[in-house]
Amino acid sequence: MSRQAAIIGGGVIGGGWLARFLLNGWDVAIFDPDPEAERKISEVLANARRSLPGLYDAALPPEGQLRYSRTIEDAVRDAQWIQESVPERLELKHDALRKIQAAASAGAVVGSSTSGFKPSDLGARLQRPGQVLVAHPFNPVYLLPLVEVVPHAGAEPAFVERAMETLRSIGMMPLHLRREIDAHVADRLLESVWREALWLVKDDVATTSDIDDAIRFGFGIRWAQMGLFETYRIAGGEAGMAHFLAQFGPCLQWPWTRLTDVPDLDATLIGKISSQSDTQSGARSIRELERLRDDNLVAMMRALKGRDWASGRTHREHDARLRGRVAAPDWSQPVETAARTVPVDWTDPDGHMNEARYCELFSDAADRLLELIGCDSGVPARGGRYVTAESHLQRLAEARLADRVRVTTQLLASAGDRLHLFSRMHAAGGRLLATAEQLLVHVTLATRRASPPAEALQARLREIQSLHAALPRPEALYCGRKTPGG
């Protein structure tokens, strides 16, 4: 049975939700009365298709089917997840939610993207208030994993956990709030920074560019990987958080900030902020800025993924889910050992995939083959592992940013401590982009000397080799010409 989602409201947030579900294999129906909705959504989808797959080292599932509906009722009829993303006016949300419940399954999850309203506000006039929960994401929804989940007081725990698991299954990190409050958690924090920033501009202390620089060159980088409290714990030195609070706590009583006061957003202040913002960013279109933002986010989160830290851990976990969906290989054919999209941090400024990344991809493919045959190079068994002794790369065509690529690997020979592999990298349309020939040697980690793997693994390799012997043998092989079985 296909998984079906419905998106009600296709603005910046609704379009992001649509892309998140669609690119994770869900069929999606969208309702938005805006006559420009299809154009706007297609532009959001183009950005998501370019950036989201690059977060992962495994291929996303086949994209779902997108359908534009003329009514709310038609959009939600068969959906298991319904995301309401209409403008932030309570009467509009009540009207949309009533129409949703009239046509939707009673078992469907109805999430609201509201940034401020509590679930009790949303469910006040509904027949089934417990069916609706706050699922508040962050822009761009198709990249940033955080979603604040605030269930209605009448929601069943099993219903809430099902909603949380659905969000995890599309690569998000659901944050279950302990109780409802206006504006939830993240927006309350953001609002305090925003309020202070408005005063700094109004009082001519700093420009919009100065304030953004203070964040992006300073504490914003720390926050991206460690948040607020853990950052300040480190600031307290060896004595930790208690020392930090004792040292800096009294400052909270000083008149440094104006958090209880709001500047009047009159025409003068609006004009000043708009003018400074135009000077700061106006040379680039919104779409150009979105692509820059997405590229930077992907590169930063991939770096965090390499450390299994913060948002990177969420993406690593989703990678494992994606790999778990891959069918068992047909060992009579070259085995698919990699299927992914070229990410931004693998490319040069012109968007071409760097040579070193070809080597990395083929190395990952060899590791994947070993994992499939029961010799996971990341968890060496019996104190041994395969290491690359020799490799030959041939680049035949260019791969570029956001290209979908696929690697297949053929086992040419396995004898004693040697393993001879040949891999081919293809573009999505089947065009051959590169080949790699690799000679791997099994070593004992304690001595770092070559040694045969366990007999069971050798038997498995011989079995695969006999199957692959029927395949056409690549020409112009180099590796291991003078080695037995090479």
Domain containing residue 253: CATH number: 1.10.1040.10
The predicted model gives 55-71 an average pLDDT of 96
Provide the CATH number for the domain around residue 111. 3.40.50.720
In a domain, 484, yes or no: no
pLDDT value at 137 more than 90: yes
| pLDDT, average across residues 119-131 | 95
pLDDT tops 70 at residue 1 = no
Q: What is the pLDDT of residues 271-304, one digit of tens each?
A: 999 999 999 998 889 899 999 999 999 999 999 9
Rounded CA-CA distance 139/127 in Å is 31
Predicted confidence (pLDDT) at residue 167 exceeds the cutoff of 80: yes
Shared-domain flag, residues 44 and 124: yes
- Total structural domains within the chain: 3
Residues 126 and 217 in one domain: no
Q: Is the pLDDT of residue 483 over 70?
A: no
Q: Please check the confidence at residue 75 and state whether its pLDDT lies above 90.
A: yes
Whether residues 171 and 42 share a domain: the answer is: yes
Structure tokens belonging to residue 422 = 């040949």
Q: Which residue has the higher pLDDT, 379 or 399?
A: 399
The predicted structure's pLDDT at residue 448: 86
Listed residues 161, 184, 207: the one ending a domain: 184
The pLDDT of residue 382: 54
> Tell me, what's the pLDDT at 481?
64
3-state secondary structure the chain: CCCEEEEECCCHHHHHHHHHHHHCCCEEEEECCCCCHHHHHHHHHHHHHHHHHHHCCCCCCCCCCEEEECCHHHHHCCCCEEEECCCCCHHHHHHHHHHHHHHCCCCCEEEECCCCCCHHHHCCCCCCHHHEEEEEECCCCCCCCEEEEEECCCCCHHHHHHHHHHHHHCCCEEEECCCCCCCCCHHHHHHHHHHHHHHHHHCCCCCHHHHHHHHHHHHHHHHHHHCCHHHHHHHCHHHHHHHHHHHHHHHHHCCCCCCCCCCCCCHHHHHHHHHHHHHHHCCCCHHHHHHHHHHHHHHHHHHHHHCCCCHHHHHHHHHHHHHHCCCCCCCCCCEEEEEEECCHHHECCCCEECHHHHHHHHHHHHHHHHHHCCCCCCCCECCEEEEEEEEEEEECCCCECCCEEEEEEEEEEEECCEEEEEEEEEECCCCEEEEEEEEEEEEECCCCEECCCCHHHHHHHHHHHHHHCCCCCCCCCCCCCCCCCC
Q: Does residue 140 fall inside a structural domain?
A: yes
What pLDDT is recorded for position 258? 80
Check whether residue 250 and residue 222 sit in a common domain.
yes
Question: Quick one: average pLDDT of 10-20?
Answer: 97
Residue 382 sits in the same domain as residue 457: yes
Q: Is residue 476 part of a domain?
A: no
Q: What is the pLDDT of residue 244?
A: 86
Which one of 228, 248, 283 terminates a domain?
283
340 and 249 both lie in a single domain: no
pTM for this structure? 0.89
pLDDT, average across residues 394-404: 95
**Residues 6 or more apart from 136 whose CB is under 8 A from it?**
112, 113, 114, 115, 147, 148, 150, 184, 186, 187
Residue 378 has pLDDT above 80, yes or no: no
Share of the chain above pLDDT 90, in %: 84
Whether residues 245 and 345 fall in one domain? no
Q: Are residues 28 and 130 in the same domain?
A: yes
Q: What is the mean pLDDT of the chain?
A: 93
Residue 296 lies in a domain: no
Residues 43 and 172 in one domain: yes
Q: 484 pLDDT exceeds 50?
A: no
For residue 398, is it within any domain? yes
Residue 165 is assigned to a structural domain of this protein = yes
- In this predicted structure, the answer to whether residue 82 has a pLDDT above a threshold of 80 is yes
Would you say residue 257 has pLDDT above 50?
Answer: yes
Contact 434, 358 (CB under 8 A): yes
Gap between the Cα atoms of 449 and 106, Å rounded: 64
Query: Do residue 25 and residue 162 come from a single domain?
Result: yes
Whether 219 and 193 map to the same domain: the answer is: yes
* Locus of tokens 């989602």: 5
Residues 256 and 159 in one domain: no
Mean pLDDT is lowest, of 16-25, 47-56, 237-246, 368-377, for: 368-377
Q: What is the CATH number of the domain that holds 432?
A: 3.10.129.10
User: Which comes out higher in pLDDT, residue 320 or 485?
Assistant: 320
* Residues of the chain above pLDDT 70, percent: 97
Domain that holds residue 374: 328-468
| Whether residue 79 has pLDDT greater than 60 | yes
Q: Is residue 303 part of a domain?
A: no
Residue 320 lies in a domain: no
The dihedral of CA 144, 49, 293, 288: what is its sign? negative
